[in-house]
């Protein structure tokens, strides 16, 4: 089982969106996938709750840590994490094979990113772990355009860019529309995960 976790010390950057998107594209490709919600506020759980009311069944389950221990035969476990709990962040990172760090465009966002990088640097990560940064809520402006080069200069690999689109918000608790899933596939492909 490959563990893919989505982490950031900052709130509201798109951890839950990226977790759900990655789980969806893996599940839709036929892999056995679970999405583990390590957020005590349960944002990924809320997604599942919404889905039960929707028409299209999700190609993955959302589970809590307890169910997780009893799950066997998974190909992928995608882990959504809370922003303000360094213990959960580091514990999750330690057990992960792929780490995805979403961030938003903006100068101040870089400082917050360092907190996440610092937290990860304190952990003994799995051998061969893959780390990728996902730029989220990208717009057609100079601030967004500057983000990619800035990250690359720091040696932080950008594996996908997600544009700002109200359709992501509207998808809450349901399938993300197909035309909005390419960034999740791209992130996985860039990190060597085959769909
Ligand atoms: N690319 C996007 N375009 C438009 N809205 C977005 C986008 N990404 C995220 N959002 C919206 O921004 C909000 C925060 O996203 P999300 O819940 O995924 O972040 P998070 O990092 O999981 O937050 P938290 O730290 O609170 O768990 C949500 O309302 C979500 O719908
Ligand atoms: Mg969340």
pLDDT in tens, 25-34: 999 999 999 9
Does the CB atom of residue 83 touch ligand 1 within 6 A? yes
Residues 80-96 pLDDT 10s: 999 989 989 999 999 99
DSSP state of 180: G
Question: What does the chain come to in residues?
Answer: 195
Reading the block at residue 177, the tokens are 């529309």
The pLDDT, as a whole number, for residue 144 is: 97
Give the CATH number, domain containing residue 116: 3.40.50.300
The pLDDT, as a whole number, for residue 85 is: 92
Q: Atom 3, ligand 1: which residue's CA is nearest?
A: 164
Q: Atom 13, ligand 1: which residue's CA is nearest?
A: 12
User: Considering the domain boundaries, does residue 69 fall inside one?
Assistant: yes
User: Considering the domain boundaries, does residue 189 fall inside one?
Assistant: no
**Residue in this structure with the two tokens 């057990």, named with its chain if needed:** 95
User: Considering the domain boundaries, does residue 16 fall inside one?
Assistant: yes
Q: State the angle between helix axes of 15-28 and 182-190 in degrees (0 to 180), rounded to the nearest 10.
A: 80
User: Considering the domain boundaries, does residue 21 fall inside one?
Assistant: yes
User: Considering the domain boundaries, does residue 141 fall inside one?
Assistant: yes
User: Considering the domain boundaries, does residue 187 fall inside one?
Assistant: no
User: Considering the domain boundaries, does residue 193 fall inside one?
Assistant: no
User: Considering the domain boundaries, does residue 180 fall inside one?
Assistant: no
Does the CB atom of residue 97 touch ligand 1 within 6 A? no
Q: Which residue of 6, 15, 17, 21 sits with most ligand 1 atoms within 8 Å of its CB, as the best mutation to test the pocket? A: 17
Number of structural domains the chain divides into = 1
Domain, as residue range, for 155: 2-172
Compute the average pLDDT of residues 134-140.
Answer: 98
**Residue in this structure with the two tokens 């690359």, named with its chain if needed:** 152
């Amino acid at each position: 089982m490959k563990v893919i976790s989505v982490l950031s010390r900052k709130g509201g950057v798109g951890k839950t969106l990226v977790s759900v998107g990655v789980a969806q594209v893996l599940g839709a490709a036929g892999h056995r996938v679970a999405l583990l919600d390590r957020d005590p506020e349960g944002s990924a759980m809320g997604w599942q709750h919404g889905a039960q009311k929707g028409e299209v069944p999700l190609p993955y389950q959302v589970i809590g840590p307890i169910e997780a221990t009893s799950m066997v035969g998974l190909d992928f476990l995608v882990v959504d994490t809370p922003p303000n709990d360094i213990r959960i962040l580091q514990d999750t990172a330690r057990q992960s094979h792929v780490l995805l760090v979403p961030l938003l465009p903006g100068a101040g966002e870089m400082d917050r990113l360092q907190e996440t990088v610092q937290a990860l640097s304190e952990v003994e990560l799995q051998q061969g772990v893959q780390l990728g940064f996902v730029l989220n809520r990208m717009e057609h402006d100079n601030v967004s355009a500057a983000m990619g080069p800035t990250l690359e200069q720091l040696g932080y690999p950008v594996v996908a860019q997600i544009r700002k689109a109200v359709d992501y918000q509207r998808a809450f608790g349901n399938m993300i529309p197909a035309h909005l899933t390419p960034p999740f596939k791209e992130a996985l492909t860039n990190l060597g995960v085959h769909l």
